[in-house]
Structure formats: structure tokens, C-alpha cells
Structure 1
Amino acid sequence: MDIFSQAGELADWLADAALPLWRQKGVDETGGGFVETIDMQGQPTRANRRSRVQPRQVYCFAEAGRRGWRGDWRTVSEGGLAYFDRVYRQPNGFYGALADADGRLLDPAFDLYNQAFALLAFAYLAEVFPERKAEMIARSDDLRRKLESYCKHPVAGFEEDNPPRLPLGSNPHMHLFEACLASEAIEGFDRIAWANLADEIAHLAMERFIDPKTGALREFFDHDWMPFSGEKGRILEPGHQFEWAWLLLRWAERRGNAEAIIKARRLFEIGETHGICRKRDVAMMTLFDDFSVADAVARVWPQTEWLKAAIRFAALSEGAERQRYVASAARAAAALERFLETPIRGLWRDKQQADGAFIEEPAPASSFYHIVCAIYELEDCLKRMRA
């Protein structure tokens, strides 16, 4: 199957099955907010709810609405943000970490990762609700300033908390980078502030997160942004090689930065060469810094990041190079589609074991953000390639 046919099938799956199912079963009509998981019989569970799931689902429905999905995206987008604020927002303006299914906050702890997704939701809501744009601009600026006051790292980037806790992570910065790129592109947002922060994170990634010898992006660091001691500091995630490559490509295209493209190519090469299981043709979870496999389990989200990076590279390439990236994107789409083969259409498998068997468990709502973004990115890049 060619990539255009795959894109059509994925788009149909999203519009006709996934969005309706998660609108009907993934929204708590009684207590509000989004559920954490839906089981393989298509029923919501009462699993505890991570705060990051709420703004991620807000993004999914807001972006679907912006792109013309005709389902009820407005109610759930605004309702999801209201629930996120009511349950997780703390007096200091940050968002806590975990609540139960009845909306009782279980863990109010600060996590930079969760704040990054709040910022992403504000950006997308500003786009689809013009009447609330001023509010979203103010809330976005306020949260950014609070982060800079509360946990700015003395060199670059941010701490994990105040007082700082170790290890520091590249992953929260990746999602903050994504929120910056979204925010700087919206009319009315403080483009200079968001662009400056995006540039800071991009350079932090290129200078510290990415190993100068191998070109691989690490996960964990000490306070000086050097690799964390022991095994933890050796961890690489193929999915994050792809995800950072995709983000750096977007940034490089806006800034005209050739260095970022070179580094993104190397990240993609590492992910594709060392992070794809040859037997299953899926992106695995974890490598060590010598590129040996640390965890051969494959999760659904790295397949989406492989797809996003491959098709973005294809759109920015020509000739034989484009065809190589298109072929990689087709492999990634095929890998993703295997995770979407479920008893009830619109769900997904989260984990595939090394022997190829999928773990029987509910579908996590948190994966929807990755899947939605990948399907729309595929659509956008194919349009660019046809133009």
C-alpha cells in the first residue's frame, strides 16, 4: 500500500471511529474531564487520571475541530480545560500531577511536563475560540513567567522543581519546545518571548541533550547538563530521537538553521538504524548509548513519532532522498496501523512485547495526542509534496 492510501485509511479511522468513540466514551459526562483509559470492550475505566491527559485531549479535539471534524469538539475542548483547572490547578498557578476518577486530587506535585501541556492547550484553544483568545494569551504569558520565576535553570532551560531535583530531563523540554513553536505562530501571542524561549531550548538540545560524539539525544542529566551518572544517564529512546528530529526540523525551517537540520538527520538515522526491531519492523522503547537494546517492548507512540519525522523529512527533500524518506514513512504508518487493529475500531494497543504479542490492557488516552498529531502531519506533508 502506498503512503497516500495509508494516509487516507488513517484519516478515515480518526474521523469516523476514534474521535467519535473518544467523544462518547472518553469523556466523563457526570464528573467532567477525560477518562484515563478505555478498555478493549469500549468501556471507560475508573483508573486514576494523570493531569497531562486533560490538556492533551483538549488539543486533540480542538485540532480536530480546527480541521473540520463535525463532531462535538467544542463542548469537550472547553469542558476539558474547565475540569483541568478545577481539579489540578494549584494556588500558585501550576498544575498538580494526579487525581482519582471522582476528581479528587491525589498528587499536587509540580512537574514541568504537565505545565508544558497546559501551554500547548492554551495555544490551540486560542486558535479555535477567538472569543477566548485574549484569555488564552494572558494565561499563557502568566504561566510562562511563573515557570521562569520558579524553576529557571541558571544556564539554560528549566529545573524539575524548586528546590531542584535530579536528574534533569530532556523530555519536559521537548514538550515545552513544542508549546513554544505553537505559541509563537499565533497572532496576538508574545512572539518575541515565545521565539526566544524556543531558540533557547533548541540550542540547549543541540549543545547538551545531543551527544557531540554520537549525535544521539540522551534523556537524563546532572545539574550541569552533563549525562547523569550510571545506567540512567546512558538511556536513549528511539521515539524521542524521532520526536526531537521532527521538532528541530520545524524550528530549523522557521529560522533557516542548517545545523539543526544536520543534527535532526542524525537523530533520525539513529532512530531508524538502531531503534527499529528488524523482525517486527516497529520502533522499540529504549536503547543504551552504545545503541544496544535496553528494552525491546514497542509502544504505540514511538511509531507515530517515526511517521512524523519521516514524512517531514520527505516533504523537505527531493528525488531519491525523498523516496527513501517516503518508504520509511510507509513502514512507520504500517507499524502504527498494527497497533490500531483492535476489537472495537477507534482504540489502540499500547505495548507490543518482543515476541510480537500485544499486551492485553485498556487503551491509554494519553496516546491520542501522538496519533492525532501524526495523522494530521502526514496529511499536511503529503499536501506539500503534491503542491
Structure 2
Amino acid sequence: MTGVAGAEGFASRLIPAWLAVALPQGEGPAPVIEALGDDGPRTTLAQCRTVFALAHLARVADRPDLLDAAHRIHGFVSLHLRGADWGHRFSDGQGPDACLRRSYDQSFALLSVAALMRAGSDRVDARDLHRIWDFIETRLIEPATGALWQDERGPDSPDTRSQNPQMHMLEAVLEAHAATGDPVWLARAEGLAAVGLRHFVDPATGAVREFTGPDLEPTDDASGTRREPGHQYEWAWLLHCLADATGRDDLRKAAARMTEFAETHGLRRGGPLDGAPFEAVDATGRPTLPEHLLWPLTEAGKLHARLGHRDRTIRIADIIFGAYFAPDHDPRWINRLDAEGRTTWDAALTRLLYHVAIFVTEGHRAGCWRIGPATA
């Protein structure tokens, strides 16, 4: 199956076939599985990412059936994962970790509600966005810096601070701006981008650091020198989205430096996965985890699509749908391959569909393929 065929059938064939096994029959609130064959606790991360992916695809590909499925999962989230204060717990499992409210998870709760609004849902409105944001602002943002704590424990959270919650919160507030047109969300996006650029970008290379110390200062240990090519592309895509909304060329320049680092140091050269991003490199660009997860390919692909790089986008689609997904829209996929294209992690993780959904809609938006009559 070519990449174009895989992308074109993602919303119309693969996702409905997957929902037939991932979502219980019926019409009421229900969760999706966390992975094929996984009957464990349901997480805010996977459930809200799936709500976003289905609502996003419903809007772009004109698939009302996917919005119906998104509503059922959102109903489960509202009943079992969201608290009275609108903070969302890690999972519906048992124990203190399951009850913890992480910044990372709140970003996807916000993202999912905004995507439902954009898809025309009558189950949510702007008040829901503000309720989630109120929890984030009062419980999760460090007043002195504007940076997110890792979770609601604030300064008592684990020692390292991660760029990932900052990045996904930027994504969520951009979606909220697109859903409402309210300039307050754009101002929040600019604030979150400023935090990321100030505290999580290495000024020497322009690359995104994965982790800092608890004071947001860089460290020289393995976590402090870790750079993930996939996150260089993901941040760059978000900065281009924000630049499109604000006209700020400085954001495009920062995105270009991130992309240059990833393109220079972070890609496999030669072999069946030629052009696939490594899982991780160090601060100098030396590969430290030289295998290939699925999600970084989608991040590279959606950036190339947004920049109009048609050939690169289609090449990435060929790798994704030719090497990671089963043929003929069979709803199975794998998470990681080695340099020779051999499977090293075969989990069909539900949370990965969010990444693929954005990639195929960005390729649709760029004219690389068509997934439905609507436009992104």
C-alpha cells in the first residue's frame, strides 16, 4: 500500500475498522482501549487524544460517524477522569498515581474540547475551555516564570522539568483560539511559546532540550543533553502555526534552527528507513537511541506538509503506511523499528493515532492527497 493510499483511507477505512474493535458497541459513554489487546486502566492521555483525533478527522474528512464516536469517549472522560474542579486525573485506575493531575494530561483535555467545538459539537462550549484553563492556571503554572509544573504537586514534583507539557499546552491553546477566535487564547499561546524558547532551547544550536533542572536551568547529565528529533519537528510546526496567526517572523527563524538540527543530525541515512528520525540524539547530534518510533515520522511529515515540501511528505507517508501499518487498512500498527525495518516494539498504542491524524490532515491541506470534501 502506498503512502498516498494509506493516508486517503485513514479516516474512511482504517479508523472505522479500528473503532469496531476498540470502542464497545452501543450509544452511551464508553472508553476506547489503550492499545490492541490492552484491558488496563483508561488514561486521560489516550482517551482525550482519541477524542481530538476523531473530532479533527470528522471535521476535515466530513465524517459525522467519527464525531459520534468522539462524543461517546468524551462522555466517559467527563464521568470518570474529570474532577469537580475540572482537573483531569491520570487514569481511572487505583492508587495515588492514578489520581495525580499532570500538566501533560490537562493539555489534551483542553485540546479535545477545542476540537469538538471546531467540529460543531453541541456537547461542549467555550465555558468548558475556560473551566479547564482555570484549573491549569491556578494549580499548574509557576507564577514567577509562566512555566508549567510537571503536575499539581508544583515545586514538590519530580526534580526534572520537561518541555513536553509546555509544547502540548501551546498546541491546545492554539486549537482553543481556532475554535473560539478569542484573542486571549492567542496571547496565551505567545506566552507559552516564550517560555519554551527561553527555558527549553539550547541557544548554541537552536535545538529543543527535553529536560531541565527543577529551576529550569540546563543540566549536563544524560537527561539534560537529550534531544529528540521528533520534538524538533513538533515544536517547529507549532511555531509556524503561531507565526501564521501572528505574523511573527522571529518564530519562523526559531523553527528553522530546530528543523536544521533535526535534518542535520537526527535522520537515518540509507537503508529501508532512509530519512526516518532517530528516537534520540545528544546535544552534539550523536545518536544515542538510533531506532525509529512511529510518531517522529508524523511530526516530520506534518512540518514538511505545512512548508509545501510535497515529495518529502509523500516519502514519509510511504514509510509510515508501508512499514508501520498493516496492509489494506487492517487496523494494526507497530510502534518502533530498527535500522533494517525489523520490529522492536509491536504495540498498537491508541495514543499514536492522534499523531497520524494530524499528519494526514496536514498532507490533505497541502494537496498531497485527498481525505474528504472538507478543507482543513
TM over 0.5: yes
35, 38, 62: which is aligned to 1:37?
Answer: 35
> Is the alpha carbon distance of 1:105 and 1:52 closer, same or farther for their aligned partners in structure 2, counting shifts above 3 Å?
farther
Matched letter for residue 308 of structure 1: K
**Residue of structure 2 equivalent to 1:370:** 355
Q: Does the alignment pair 1:158 with 2:148?
A: yes
298, 301, 305: which is aligned to 1:311?
Answer: 305
**Residue of structure 1 equivalent to 2:24:** 28
Q: Does the alignment pair 1:382 with 2:375?
A: no
Q: Does the alignment pair 1:139 with 2:128?
A: yes
Normalised by the size of structure 1, how large is the TM-score?
0.86
Name the CA distance, whole Å, in 1 between partners of 2:212 and 2:137: 20
How much does 1:54 deviate? 0.6
82, 88, 102: which is aligned to 1:89?
Answer: 82
Name the CA distance, whole Å, in 2 between partners of 1:372 and 1:137: 24
Kindly, what percent of the aligned residue pairs are identical? 25
Name the CA distance, whole Å, in 2 between partners of 1:76 and 1:15: 13
**Residue of structure 2 equivalent to 1:342:** 326
Quick check: 1:248–1:260 contact (8 Å CA) kept in 2?
Answer: yes
Mapping 1:1-387, distance limit 5 Å: 6-7=3-4, 9-29=5-25, 32-38=30-36, 44-70=37-63, 72-99=65-92, 107-132=98-123, 135-153=124-142, 154-161=144-151, 162-164=153-155, 165=157, 166-187=159-180, 191-279=182-270, 280-281=273-274, 282-314=276-308, 325-342=309-326, 345-359=330-344, 361-382=346-367
Normalised by the size of structure 2, how large is the TM-score?
0.88
Quick check: 1:87–1:105 contact (8 Å CA) kept in 2?
Answer: no
Runs of 4+ in structure 1 deviating by more than 6 angstroms, as ranges, are: 103-106
Quick check: 1:206–1:260 contact (8 Å CA) kept in 2?
Answer: no
How much does 1:137 deviate? 1.0
Quick check: 1:56–1:121 contact (8 Å CA) kept in 2?
Answer: yes
Name the CA distance, whole Å, in 2 between partners of 1:112 and 1:304: 23
How much does 1:216 deviate? 0.6
Looking at both structures, which has the greater relative contact order when contacts are Cα pairs under 8 Å and sequence separation is at least 6? 2
Q: Matched residue of 1:294: which SS?
A: strand
How much does 1:144 deviate? 0.8
Q: Matched residue of 1:37: which SS?
A: coil
How much does 1:183 deviate? 0.7
Quick check: 2:147–2:166 contact (8 Å CA) kept in 1?
Answer: yes
Quick check: 2:57–2:361 contact (8 Å CA) kept in 1?
Answer: no
> Is the alpha carbon distance of 1:341 and 1:146 closer, same or farther for their aligned partners in structure 2, counting shifts above 3 Å?
closer
Quick check: 1:32–1:79 contact (8 Å CA) kept in 2?
Answer: yes
Name the CA distance, whole Å, in 2 between partners of 1:241 and 1:247: 10
Quick check: 1:23–1:72 contact (8 Å CA) kept in 2?
Answer: no
Name the CA distance, whole Å, in 2 between partners of 1:194 and 1:88: 24
How much does 1:264 deviate? 0.7
Matched letter for residue 27 of structure 1: L
Q: Matched residue of 2:355: which SS?
A: helix
CA offsets 1:77-132 (integer angstroms, 9 cap, x no match): 111011112221234421111235xx999711121111000000110111224533
Name the CA distance, whole Å, in 1 between partners of 2:344 and 2:9: 22
Matched letter for residue 266 of structure 1: R
> Is the alpha carbon distance of 1:92 and 1:17 closer, same or farther for their aligned partners in structure 2, counting shifts above 3 Å?
same
> Is the alpha carbon distance of 1:62 and 1:110 closer, same or farther for their aligned partners in structure 2, counting shifts above 3 Å?
same
Name the CA distance, whole Å, in 2 between partners of 1:119 and 1:298: 29
How much does 1:350 deviate? 0.8
CA offsets 1:212-259 (integer angstroms, 9 cap, x no match): 111111111123322245111111110000000100011112111111
Quick check: 2:147–2:192 contact (8 Å CA) kept in 1?
Answer: yes
What's the RMSD between the two structures over aligned residues? 2.4
Name the CA distance, whole Å, in 1 between partners of 2:118 and 2:64: 18
Which stretches in structure 2 are left out of the alignment for 5+ residues?
370-376
- Aligned length, in residue pairs: 359
Name the CA distance, whole Å, in 2 between partners of 1:112 and 1:229: 25
Matched letter for residue 294 of structure 1: T
How much does 1:354 deviate? 3.7
Name the CA distance, whole Å, in 2 between partners of 1:176 and 1:106: 21
Name the CA distance, whole Å, in 2 between partners of 1:200 and 1:228: 24
Quick check: 2:299–2:359 contact (8 Å CA) kept in 1?
Answer: yes
> Is the alpha carbon distance of 1:88 and 1:171 closer, same or farther for their aligned partners in structure 2, counting shifts above 3 Å?
same
Quick check: 1:285–1:299 contact (8 Å CA) kept in 2?
Answer: yes
CA offsets 1:178-232 (integer angstroms, 9 cap, x no match): 1111111223x6x232111100111122222111111111111123322245111
**Residue of structure 2 equivalent to 1:41:** none
Which stretches in structure 1 are left out of the alignment for 5+ residues?
39-43, 315-324
Name the CA distance, whole Å, in 1 between partners of 2:125 and 2:366: 28
Quick check: 1:87–1:104 contact (8 Å CA) kept in 2?
Answer: no
